[in-house]
Amino acid sequence: MKYAYFPGCSIHASAKEYAMAANAVNKFLGIELVEIPNWNCCGAIDAVYAYNPLLSISLSTRNLALAENMKMDVVTLCSACFFTLSRANNMLRENADMKSRVDKAINDAGLKYAGGVRIRHYIDVLANDVGFDKIHQNVKVPLKGLKVAPYYGCLIVRPTGIQRFDDPEHPTSMDRMIETLGAEAVDYPDKTRCCGASLVMTDEEVMMEMTKALLLTAKNAQADCIVTPCPMCHFNLDAKQKDIESHFNIDIRLPVLYITQLIGLAFGLPPKELGLHRNIVSLDKSLAVKNIWHTN
């Protein structure tokens, strides 16, 4: 299974470990990710859109045009990129004025986009192309007794009009994946609650309030750790966890893993290969997790 791979800006910087673990795991699942050459920033939801909507859609469309040349579906690890690229597809289809202006813009760089590219999130590929059975077959170290809270976040399940693959209110793909790995998927009400990722640089306190809420409900549901499929969410939950703890004077101590890292652990892969040393909240903060990652 070959896909045109769109990493997105975070993967090369703050979210390196997500891709490291994905690469480690892909070999076993028959997934080949071919990076789109000279891809550009997707536009990051509305970071660019608010300033220049045409530029934002053009940025997304450039990537789609490059992928179209590769004649493959686009796969991305980041939910924000998943949304931003899908939005361009939709908008080009529904808004003739935007389409003609975008066509002109990318034409200036010698590119054309006919509209045929499908955008998939990596989780969708795992759940529907690879299948849970195949994942299960590769499990060497069943994560027995580990209570994992799946945090989907927003843009992997919403908006519902654009290429979504799971229920927007009660998604189950990651829950099933966790169970396939032998762990226990923790049920808590904030699986799809917004962490405030797009607010982190400008409204930090608002973002912390939003992330705090879901960290607490996950913790209160007896989770040992959280998994997430998005670098933006991961940053808020992981890198900012300490700040949240001190700002609100609370104790969270929840390691935050990328879903690929969890899969890698269950596959018995060495932690270094999965980039586990890069996670900011130490995995040792949870005894249950500590036991597993030191076993590997």
Nearest approach, Cβ of residue 29 and another protein (Å): 26
The three-class DSSP label of residue 162 is: coil
User: How many CA within 13 A on the CB side of residue 193?
Assistant: 19
Sign of CA dihedral 23, 124, 69, 29: positive
Q: What span, in angstroms and rounded, lies between the C-alpha atoms of 81 and 39?
A: 12
Strand 147-150 relative to strand 2-6, pairing: unpaired
Tokens of 151: 């945090």
168 makes contact with another protein (CB under 8 A): yes
Closest CB 232 distance from another protein, rounded Å: 10
Residue 108 binds to another protein (criterion: CB under 8 A): yes
Provide φ and ψ at 282, rounded to 5°: -60, 135
Site size toward another protein (CB under 8 A) is 69
**Nearest residue (CB) to another protein, 6 versus 138:** 6
Rank residues 47 and 139 by Cβ distance to another protein and give the closer one. 47
Q: Which of 25, 36, 91, 237 binds another protein (CB under 8 A)?
A: 91
Output the 3-class SS for 224-260: CEEEECCHHHHHHHHHCHHHHHHHHCCCCCCCEEEHH
| 194 near another protein (CB under 8 A) | yes
* Candidate segments 68-76, 132-140, 141-149, 159-167, binder of another protein by CB under 8 A: 159-167
What residues numbered 220-239 form the site for another protein, per CB under 8 A?
239
* Contact with another protein (CB under 8 A) among 23, 28, 40, 285: 40
| CA 164-166-169 angle, 5° bins | 105
Q: Are 74 and 67 in contact (CB under 8 A)?
A: yes
> Which string of x and - marks every residue 236-265 that binds another protein (by CB under 8 A)?
---xx-xx----------------------
Q: Which is nearer to another protein, 58 or 138 (CB)?
A: 58
d(CA 281, CA 116): 41
Instruction: Rule CB under 8 A: say whether 202 interacts with another protein.
Output: yes
Binding site for another protein (CB under 8 A): 9, 12-16, 38, 40-41, 43-55, 58-59, 62, 83, 91, 95, 98, 101, 104-106, 108-110, 154-155, 158-161, 167-170, 189, 192-194, 196-199, 201-204, 206, 209-210, 239-240, 242-243, 277-280
